[in-house]
A and B are shown apart, each in its own frame.
Chain A
Amino acid sequence: MTTTTTRAAKKAVPESRYVPEDGLLLDVEDLHVEFHTADGIAKAINGVSFQLRQGETLAILGESGSGKSVTAQAIMGILDMPPAVIPEGKIRYCGQDLLTMDPEVRRKTRGPEISMIFQDALSSLNPVFPVGWQIAEMFRQHRELNKSDAMNEAVRLMERVQIPAARERVKAYPHQFSGGMRQRIMIAMAIALDPAVLIADEPTTALDVTVQAQIMALLEELQEERKMGLILITHDLGVVADVADRIAVMYAGRLVETADILPLYASPAHPYTRGLLESIPRLDQKGQTLAAIGGLPPNLMRIPQGCAFNPRCRMAQDICRQDRPELREIVSGRFSACHFAEEVIDA
């Protein structure tokens, strides 16, 4: 019911000019992001490429600080520039490069085409406006609906994301909801205009385990219902394992391995991925250094020569300190950026 009304509302405006070719929604190519700060240049993203198709769920996995959020924000176009600079790369949405697009045209893609939900729903929602108002704002601004129509849409969306007594609670403020309900409201807001791409940046990290599972189930359901391309960012493989189709593992602003979820689980093709799998995440050390890997991610102002992972890698050889391994196909559909990927995958 929700979808039909949203679709009906969409009819009122000219059809979107964005048509995916062969289901290809997002095509990120050699993306670089730097932060120019007083202390120097932090190279947060150093050549990231990946694609996202309709109906596909891509998980981006990596430790805190590896550049997952910066990647997402670059796609959304919500990086603060300055300090952020994008010296190289393309982000194509349905064939059009978002980075060279007219800013006003690009703004209108946020919401109806690409949408995002954040880790901390409490701080990401405006504390002084009712939740319904904040959802309705999407319809007011993008669809020019009047107040009561927009509010009705908001109620419908709140019902869709299973907020109990939605009609009564539409005027409540964010702080009056539980963490899980707040994240549902964020989700309602993000899917309001039926976007083709949804980016969820650690959507469950702030929640307790049972609620995590409910939110993931909801995202999966919505993704199937709307055939969205979904990017799920996480530092916790356990959370996305059931939901994701493909996984991209990120380290120091580069993808070090991409693969379908099952083969990656069965036999990782990169020492870093293996380390992540071995370090079973425990609730009491969320966000801490992963025991099985040891050491810390590199300082982004002085990324080690060669393979960025080499100071922490038990398999590192001389070549790892000189040549940077590029992402290459090891077996069909499996890519790894390690000089010894074949040995890792067989181990």
Chain B
Amino acid sequence: MGTYIIRRVLQMIPVLIGATFLIFVMVFALPGDPTDGKCGERPCSPAYIAEFKKEYNLNDNVFLRYAKYTGIWPTEQGGLLQGNLGKNYNGYKVVDDLKERYPTTAKLALVAIVFEVVIGIAAGVLTGVRKGGFLDNLVLVSTLVVISIPIFVIGALGQYFLGVKAGLFPVTVGSNPSFYELLLPGMVLGSLSIAYVSRLTRTNLVENLRADYVRTAIAKGLTRRRAVGVHALRNSLIPVVTFVGYDFGGLLGGAIVTERIFNIQGVGNYIYRGILNRDGMAVVGAVTVLVFVYLVVNLIVDLLYGVLDPRISHD
């Protein structure tokens, strides 16, 4: 177990380096000049541009810049390895920007996950125990519909009907939003995964209901409720929990589309605006953190899998 964790953590290093390098190269390959629009209506003065380029190492080639950014090439302020995410092109520290926005993204992810788990598993169980019934077909059709509609359409529809028309939820979300404000966006964000979770739960439950150990549970004189709800469900939820865990890791990476639609000031929106403004430092910094979070969550999920399924050993 201990060696497994160490191995996994060591494996993260090349993944992190590779991922940040790729995003670094791509972001700085974007056309456009980061100093555009920095000085109001007029173009910036050559002196300002020179200073700006020096400040952000824009005169170096991409490898040297990456080396300086990561801190492999020593600089006085230090790089990633020293825990420094650098400054964005407005001169603010990226780490402060993220500190401000990350709680919102995490909250949104949490709301989406709760929806996914509660509604997805409930739908999966209800349809799994009554395979082929009316509810089963209803859920099957609605999950197909949800899966086939792009999220920006679901978002826009949800915003219009539930927000504008019915007035049940706020249409947009302020900074530092409450959980209530995030309900609608969370539902939209989780809608696709609700569909997957319910299908996954149903499929696994139907399969496990036929398992020998469920027959044993009935033969033990347990109620059907217990045989299904404890014995079959416990096994059926192993892949579901794993899926939800990975999904949570992904959602913590921000949801650009959903955050845009509801104007949520989260990490997704931050990255979006970073790309628009050619703010390479903001984008690379944010993505690096997200990749790291994703890897950590993945590791936790894999460890959890071993706890949920005693047959898996992490030796």
Contact = CB atoms under 8 A, between A and B. Distances in A.
Interface of A: 76, 78, 107-112, 115-116, 118, 120, 123-129, 137-138, 141-142, 173, 175, 186, 189
A102 to B, nearest CB: 14
A18 to B, nearest CB: 14
A126 B220 contact: no
B59 interface: no
Contacts of B130: none
Interface stretch (B9-17, B102-110, B188-196, B303-311): B303-311
Contact of B213 (A109, A110, A123): A123
Given A107-B221, A142-B221, A128 B212 contact: no
Contacts of B213: 123-127
Given A120-B212, A124-B216, A175-B310, 12 more contacts: A107-B223, A111-B221, A118-B216, A123-B211, A123-B212, A125-B213, A126-B231, A126-B235, A127-B310, A129-B231, A141-B220, A186-B216
Interface string B196-234: 000000000000000111011111111100100001001
Contacts of B231: 126, 129
B62 to A, nearest CB: 50
B220 A189 contact: yes
Nearest to B215: A78
Contacts of A123: 211-213
A110 B234 contact: no
A6 to B, nearest CB: 16
A128 B219 contact: no
17 contacts: A76-B219, A107-B221, A107-B223, A108-B221, A110-B218, A110-B219, A111-B220, A124-B212, A124-B215, A126-B234, A128-B235, A128-B308, A137-B220, A141-B221, A173-B311, A175-B311, A186-B216
Contacts of A128: 234-235, 238, 308-310
B310 A78 contact: no
Nearest to A126: B213
A120 B215 CA distance: 12
A179 B45 CA distance: 82
Interface residues of B, number: 21
Contacts of A116: 219
Contacts of A173: 310-311
A110 B220 contact: yes
A142 B226 CA distance: 13
B229 to A, nearest CB: 13
A129 B218 CA distance: 16
Interface in B229-267: 231, 234-235, 238
Contacts of B212: 118, 120, 123-124
Nearest to B226: A141
Contacts of B221: 107-112, 138, 141-142
A138 B309 CA distance: 23
Nearest to A135: B220
The 10 closest A-B pairs by CB, nearest first: A110-B221, A111-B221, A123-B212, A126-B213, A173-B310, A124-B212, A124-B216, A78-B218, A116-B219, A78-B219
Interface in B47-93: none
A118 B219 CA distance: 10
Contacts of B311: 127, 173, 175
Contacts of A142: 221
A125 B216 contact: yes
Nearest to B223: A107
A78 B221 CA distance: 10
Contacts of A78: 215, 218-219
Contacts of A125: 213, 216
Nearest to B217: A126
Nearest to A107: B221
Interface in B118-145: none
Nearest to B309: A128
Nearest to B238: A128
B215 A141 contact: no
A290 B137 CA distance: 47
Contacts of A175: 310-311
A137 B238 CA distance: 21
Nearest to B208: A126
A108 B220 CA distance: 9
Nearest to B214: A126
A109 B231 CA distance: 20
